[in-house]
Structure 1
Amino acid sequence: MLTTSHRWKSGSLPTPLELAALTGDRDRVIDLVRICSLLVVVAGHSIMLTVDTSDGAIHLGNTLAEVPILQPATWLLQVLPLFFFAGAAASTHGWMSRAPGDTPSAGHWLFTRTQRLLRPLGWYLGVVLVALAGLTTVGLDAAADVVARLGVQLLWFLGAYLLVLAVVPLLQRVRTSLHVAIALGTCWGSTALIDAVRLADGPSSLSYLNFLTVWTIPAVLGVAYTRRIVRPGTAAAVAIGALILDTALVQWGPYEVSLVTVPGQQLSNMSPPSLLLAGHAIVLCAGAIALRRTLASIAARPRVWWWVVLGNRGAMTLYLWHLPVLAAVIVLGAVMGLDRADVHSASFPIVVGVQTMLLVALMIPVVAMLSPLENRPLPWWDEPVASCAGRMRDLTLTAALVCLGVAVLMTSRYGLFGDGRTWLIFGIGCAATARVLALRRVRRRGADALPGGDASLQVSASRRSTTLDGSHRRR
């Protein structure tokens, strides 16, 4: 955590040059990669969504399903591996910056990350549940169904991210290029084996292990990035080799070209993740390592860095709230006679393009307004965490958080009806259990405290100080 006693006026923000001076010791590439990957996700969701209300119901579709020639574009739009890459890189920086003997136990470290991740999720889910109850009460069943499904659909990312964060302490043993090769080979090979069982009509539940094996790949490369294990030239060669292999898997293998789920697919590359997505993660993350110097020069520009900092301050707000804002933009367009039903109409690309730009523009004030909720500690939930505990207690805490990740994944799969509600209640129970296990007895305020951290930057203006709470704090 970088803290300065410089006093800003209430509600004001530092200028680009002042902010650059405050954050001079950060690895800006990590923050640039994180926010850019989220912006691409936001734009991609807008570009791909179609909406048809001609029969009074709400039918959501995908542009890629009706215009298959656009599916190769997902190799550019599917950039979420970079978020996992940035998260692991930032976490590794935190581990490396700690003094010898000051490393927290794995479970308690994981909980500090979970504190920060679940804070904005709690506010978001509260609004979704209230909206769902209101729509159901007034009899708007079609809209309620959309909210119940689409409102939590993107939460799979948080579930997968929690599972990967649970592995990050183990990945700190990766110290050499051989270690990186073994870790990548293990994850890629395990994914290939699971896919083989999946294609042979094996147990469908086994394929969900790929949520861990595939998304651990960018985490491995994130660790390698921070520890400077892989040279840029080697990373470029690995990225090119993985791209060639991915092309072969599509050309001669069983895999679909689209890296996002498209209606009608026989084999999804996303849910659960496939071997093709595993290779794509290697391409993107190895490519980021290869382009490290170029990205650093871009992030070094004060104005660019200013936007990167503010964007990372509300990164989870941006991710969670962009679909509700997109829905509002689409409804407004429908009222004005602009719909997204016919992808083959001449007006469709214009409507989608304008609405996508409007969405990105609207997210700036939305993030500015809602990000304080993301950064404001909550009573009890954000109370200090013990830096370490007995082995059994720490393992139990880790298990509770892994179960929480699984619960979030399953809630996103089923929505807020039926089994989805059961998984949501189970997840809340796991979170509460973890909070109790991570509590510590406070003898003096601030001792041993590990407040919830995140890979994003936080800029909070107060009467006395400005704090930049980021991934490079001591965790």
Structure 2
Amino acid sequence: MLTTSARPTAGKPAERLPTPHELAALTGDRDRVVDLIRICSLLVVVVGHSIMLTVDASGGSIRLGNTLGDVPMLQPATWLLQVLPLFFFAGAAASTHGWMSRASDDPPAAGHWLFTRTQRLLRPLGWYLGVVLVVLAGLTTAGLDAAADVVARLGVQLLWFLGAYLLVLAVVPLLQRIRTPLHVFLALGTCWGSTALIDAIRLHAGPSWLGYLNFLTVWTIPAVLGVAYAKQILRPGTAAAVSIGALILDTGLVHRGPYEISLVTVPGQQLSNMSPPSLLLAGHAIVLCAGAVAVRRVLATIAGRPRVWWWVVLGNRGAMTLYLWHLPVLAAVIVLGAVTGLDRADVQSASFPIVVGVQTMLLLALMVPVVVMLSPLEYRPLPWWDGPVARRAGRARDLTLLAALVCLGIAVLMVSRYGLLGDGIGWLISGIGCAVTGRVLALRPAARGGGDAVPGDDASLQVSASRRSTTLDESHRRR
């Protein structure tokens, strides 16, 4: 992630943001392709959610729908809109850049390294959940049960991504053993083959819960290719061939069945490709991420343009804020539209595409000030939680910490599934317990002094034009 700094000091005017050319000069050694992929994939997610969501508030209840379910002919578009594999790809690539820069001297313990990443991820999540719980309590107290139910479910629905992301990050240290194209193909084959086996069992009278293992096997695929990208293992031509081959295979899976064409869950779908992830989504991840490796030079040229890079930096400084808060802002836009008579209940109406288009543009415009206002919370250290982390620990302690963080990822997935209702509350409490356990296990022993700490995760890119200095996060230098 990136942050720009322009805080005023006593008696001095506020520092201005650097110009595009100044910023380009300050960040010359950063992997811009990773940052470009990250922010572009998030923007596509935001736009996709706005386009797909339908809301019918007639009759005193709130019914949420999906444009893709009402207009099935649009479902093939999900092969373009489902770009979350690219976010996992970018995260693994950034982590690998940092891991390689540290491992040459003194590799950190895997569990403690993962906790530094968890510190960064859970900081904005904590603020977000706090607001959701306050709003939920207010709606419940006011007797607005329909609205409270929507907030309890939709407010945490997108947290599945953070749970899956934690699980994938847990295997990133293991993936550092990938060094050759053969290693890449073996890792991809293992993940894809495991997903195929799990699907074969669960779709033929096997236990349905088995499918949730695919959260690890499927989402590890973009991580494998992210590692390959960072280490420049695959040639563009090879990556292009892999991408095209996976696309042909995916087409065959849809044609022969039982996989449905939509890569996002839609009402009436017999087999979701997202929850849990399916073999079709595994192939789609290969198509996108191998394709990204294939066009690396093109993306580098685009990201190398100073004006493009300026916007990429500003977007990345609040990527988690953008992801967490875009649905609440979208809800506010939809409510405002309903009050003014512009609802999105009937996808067959002539006004529907106009309303959705205008509201999507308004959402993107509103997210700019929202990110500006809330993104500083991503970088404000929390007492105790953001304290120093031991760089080394006994193997048993480190493995226990790793297990606690894996359990945390599972708990977040379950909160996303059940919402802040019933079992979801229990999973939320379990997740908090896992996070606290992880923090205790990762504490730096006082007797070791200051030379044994792991720097905080995603270090930000803080730029001050007047000082002409830049601090790159751990993600590209020290991590």
Code of the residue aligned with 1:243 in structure 2: it is: L
Indicate whether 1:110 and 2:114 are aligned.
Answer: yes
Q: How far off is 1:442 after superposition? A: 4.2
Code of the residue aligned with 1:118 in structure 2: it is: L
Taking the TM superposition and a 5 Å limit, the aligned residue runs for 1:123-272 are 123-272=127-276
**Deviations 1:156-208, CA, capped at 9 Å, x for gaps:** 00000000000000000000000000000000000000000111021111110
Indicate whether 1:435 and 2:450 are aligned.
Answer: no
What is the rounded CA distance, in whole Å, between the counterparts of 1:392 and 1:338 in structure 2? 59
Indicate whether 1:370 and 2:374 are aligned.
Answer: yes
Q: How far off is 1:316 after superposition? A: 0.4
Contact 1:111 1:452 in 2 (8 A): no
**Deviations 1:248-298, CA, capped at 9 Å, x for gaps:** 100112001000000111100000000000000000000000010000000
SS state of the match for residue 65, structure 2?
Answer: strand
What is the rounded CA distance, in whole Å, between the counterparts of 2:372 and 2:5 in structure 1? 23
Indicate whether 1:309 and 2:313 are aligned.
Answer: yes
Q: How far off is 1:54 after superposition? A: 1.3
Indicate whether 1:78 and 2:85 are aligned.
Answer: no
**Distance of aligned partners of 1:412 and 1:38 in 2 relative to their CA distance in 1, 3 Å threshold:** same
What is the rounded CA distance, in whole Å, between the counterparts of 2:326 and 2:254 in structure 1? 31
Q: How far off is 1:12 after superposition? A: 3.3
What is the rounded CA distance, in whole Å, between the counterparts of 1:97 and 1:442 in structure 2? 27
Contact 1:2 1:467 in 2 (8 A): no
Taking the TM superposition and a 5 Å limit, the aligned residue runs for 1:8-157 are 10=14, 12-98=16-102, 100-157=104-161
SS state of the match for residue 454, structure 2?
Answer: coil
Q: How far off is 1:446 after superposition? A: 4.8
Indicate whether 1:291 and 2:285 are aligned.
Answer: no
Contact 1:461 1:467 in 2 (8 A): no
**Deviations 1:74-105, CA, capped at 9 Å, x for gaps:** 00000000000000001111111125341100
Contact 1:4 1:466 in 2 (8 A): no
TM-align CA RMSD: 2.1
Q: Structure 1: any 5+ residue segments left out of the alignment?
A: none
Q: How far off is 1:376 after superposition? A: 1.1
TM-score for both structures, normalised by structure 1: 0.96
**Deviations 1:411-445, CA, capped at 9 Å, x for gaps:** 00000010000000000000000000000034687
SS state of the match for residue 452, structure 2?
Answer: coil
Alignment equivalent of 1:459, drawn from 445, 458, 462: 462
Alignment equivalent of 2:363, drawn from 359, 362, 379: 359
Contact 2:3 2:313 in 1 (8 A): no
> What is the identity percentage for the equivalent residue pairs of Structure 1 and Structure 2?
83
**Distance of aligned partners of 1:53 and 1:36 in 2 relative to their CA distance in 1, 3 Å threshold:** same
What is the rounded CA distance, in whole Å, between the counterparts of 1:155 and 1:198 in structure 2? 24
What is the rounded CA distance, in whole Å, between the counterparts of 1:276 and 1:452 in structure 2? 36
What is the rounded CA distance, in whole Å, between the counterparts of 1:228 and 1:460 in structure 2? 28
What is the rounded CA distance, in whole Å, between the counterparts of 2:60 and 2:404 in structure 1? 43
**Deviations 1:208-245, CA, capped at 9 Å, x for gaps:** 00000000000000000011110000111111110010
SS state of the match for residue 447, structure 1?
Answer: helix
**Distance of aligned partners of 1:4 and 1:338 in 2 relative to their CA distance in 1, 3 Å threshold:** closer
Instruction: Give 2:403's aligned residue.
Output: 399
What is the rounded CA distance, in whole Å, between the counterparts of 1:107 and 1:383 in structure 2? 16
**Distance of aligned partners of 1:2 and 1:195 in 2 relative to their CA distance in 1, 3 Å threshold:** closer
SS state of the match for residue 64, structure 2?
Answer: strand
What number of residue pairs does the alignment pair up? 474
What is the rounded CA distance, in whole Å, between the counterparts of 1:2 and 1:98 in structure 2? 20
SS state of the match for residue 86, structure 2?
Answer: helix
Q: Structure 2: any 5+ residue segments left out of the alignment?
A: none
TM-score for both structures, normalised by structure 2: 0.95
SS state of the match for residue 97, structure 1?
Answer: helix
What is the rounded CA distance, in whole Å, between the counterparts of 1:446 and 1:321 in structure 2? 36
What is the rounded CA distance, in whole Å, between the counterparts of 1:265 and 1:285 in structure 2? 26
What is the rounded CA distance, in whole Å, between the counterparts of 2:336 and 2:191 in structure 1? 45
**Deviations 1:451-472, CA, capped at 9 Å, x for gaps:** 3212x74437699875443621
What is the rounded CA distance, in whole Å, between the counterparts of 1:360 and 1:399 in structure 2? 38
Contact 2:89 2:289 in 1 (8 A): yes
Code of the residue aligned with 2:257 in structure 1: it is: G
What is the rounded CA distance, in whole Å, between the counterparts of 1:248 and 1:457 in structure 2? 43
What is the rounded CA distance, in whole Å, between the counterparts of 1:33 and 1:108 in structure 2? 27
What is the rounded CA distance, in whole Å, between the counterparts of 1:179 and 1:302 in structure 2? 36
Q: How far off is 1:388 after superposition? A: 1.2
User: Which region of structure 1 is more displaced relative to structure 2, 371-380 or 155-164?
Assistant: 371-380
Code of the residue aligned with 2:184 in structure 1: it is: V
Instruction: Give 2:277's aligned residue.
Output: 273
What is the rounded CA distance, in whole Å, between the counterparts of 1:12 and 1:6 in structure 2? 6
Q: How far off is 1:10 after superposition? A: 3.5
